[in-house]
Amino acid sequence: MKSFDVAIAGAGLIGSSIAFELAQAGLKVAIFDRGEPGREASWASAGILSPAPESPAMISMVPLAKASMNLYPALVANVEEISGEKVGFRPKGTIDVFFSKDAIPDLSTLIALHHGMGLKAEPLRPEDARELEPSLSSELEAAALRPEEASIDNRTLTHAMLSAAKKSGVEVFAGSNVTGIVQEGERCTGLKLGNETVSAKWTVIAAGCFSADIDGVKDFAPVRPAKGQMVSLRADGLKIERVIWGEKIYIVPRNDGRILAGATVEYVGFDKQVTAGGIEKILSAAIEVIPEFANARIEETWAGLRPDSPDHLPILGPTDIDGLVIATGHFRSGVLLTPITARLVRQWITERSVELDWERLSPMRFIEARRETTA
């Protein structure tokens, strides 16, 4: 029987970054992925690094998001050095753009909300915004700069993270479907791969939106897929430096000249089809923001499945089964939250205490909520 200090289900960005941290701390770690490692949400993502919440429900995540943002530069340097691969980190800030008749009040609300959460956002006159990003439409009414935000090429990051993990001693098993956890009394003692059993002192579930399908995990991680469609464009002579937040879409430039636009949020099960309606919505909104996109080549379209939780917050931490840790439900912020997730899980496993209060994210919140409603 294979035996490890830590066995991880899922080799996306979350599973591989946890493995990397733990291996760097000297533990014997293995990751099991049922498919090709790193080819699900972590591949499909836009890679925007923004600690600003996308809805009021996510405001409580801001301290975690800020902490993760602060860890990014050091993690990038470490992963690039060990893997020998560049990860396309662009700490250049992002720009919000407004075109509607409510542009001025919308801008004021955005600035006030950001300042209220201790996040930087500065109003920009339309002409100043167009000086920073000359391809922005001349119909622009108002804009804001969020100077501390960034982006990263999530595909190269995921590849480099896996490679850095392997170089640090992590064993990666592709095509290994985790079917369940092994439980002995109150303890989790490893993972089941069909008839095979893997023994581990610690077991981490990081199988993204598929985590709930693993036997024994659903009650702790009731995640569901939130589909996102994306488009990649290329246009000669068109230069965009920063992520641009439109009212309906975002635009993300990459170091290799691709410009991404996305994304839809759809609850349609595990379907990853790209649809004409989804792409039409993204492109028409993107052309409104950058009119030159009308002549751009469409290089690629794709869809991925974000791991969403019932309250849209990550599901992170130990369970009441000794040795079982959950790390999923990162929804629209899994790339941003990668460094802090890996750090907290490593701290829990090696020190049994963590530097941030993660009670709000506990997998036990769903079990306790169910007990309360049935009591």
Ligand X SMILES: Cc1cc2nc3c(=O)[nH]c(=O)nc-3n(C[C@H](O)[C@H](O)[C@H](O)COP(=O)(O)OP(=O)(O)OC[C@H]3O[C@@H](n4cnc5c(N)ncnc54)[C@H](O)[C@@H]3O)c2cc1C
Tell me which residues touch ligand X (CB under 6 A).
Answer: 9-15, 32-35, 37, 39-42, 44-48, 177-178, 206-208, 210, 213-214, 228, 230, 262-263, 304, 306-307, 328, 330-336
CB of 260 to ligand X, least distance (A): 9
CB of 347 to ligand X, least distance (A): 19
∠ at Cα 12 (69, 43), nearest 5°?
85
Q: At what angle do helices 154-167 and 13-24 cross, to 10 degrees?
A: 30
Comparison of 144 and 214: residue with beta carbon closer to ligand X: 214
Among residues 198 and 214, whose Cβ is nearest to ligand X?
Answer: 214
Q: What is the largest CA-CA distance in the chain?
A: 66
**Between 252 and 290, CB nearer to ligand X:** 252
Quote the least distance from Cβ 293 to ligand X, whole Å: 18
Indicate the residue among 145 and 162 with the shorter CB distance to ligand X. 162
Contact of 314 with 329, CB cutoff 8 Å = yes
Q: How far apart are CA 136 and CA 134, in angstroms?
A: 6
Is beta strand 196-205 parallel, antiparallel or unpaired with respect to 180-184? unpaired
> Between β-strands 196-205 and 324-328, what pairing exists: parallel, antiparallel or unpaired?
parallel
Cβ closest to ligand X, residue 142 vs residue 223: 223
Q: How far is the CB of 102 from ligand X (least distance, A)?
A: 25
Q: Smallest distance from the beta carbon of 191 to ligand X, in angstroms? A: 8
Distance of closest approach, residue 135 Cβ to ligand X, in angstroms: 21
CB of 354 to ligand X, least distance (A): 19
Query: Are 307 and 209 in contact, with CB atoms under 8 Å apart?
Result: yes
Q: CA–CA separation, 196 vs 217, rounded Å? A: 18
- State in angstroms the smallest separation of the CB of 200 from ligand X: 14
For 198-256, the three-class secondary structure string (H helix, E strand, C coil) is: EEEEEEEECCHHHHHHCECCCCCCCCEEEEEEEEEEECCCCCCCCEEECCCCEEEECCC
Nearer to ligand X, 332 or 365 (CB): 332
ω into 207 cis (within 30 of 0) = no
Residue 215 Ramachandran class (φ > 0 left, ψ -120 to 50 alpha, else beta) = beta
Separation between Cα atoms, residue 259 and residue 182, nearest integer Å: 45
Q: Is the dihedral of CA 302, 251, 77, 313 positive or negative?
A: negative
Nearest residue (CB) to ligand X, 183 versus 333: 333
Nearer to ligand X, 42 or 83 (CB): 42
On whether the CB atoms of residues 222 and 212 are closer than 8 A, the answer is yes
Q: How far is the CB of 94 from ligand X (least distance, A)?
A: 11
Instruction: Output 42 or 189, the one with its CB closest to ligand X.
Output: 42
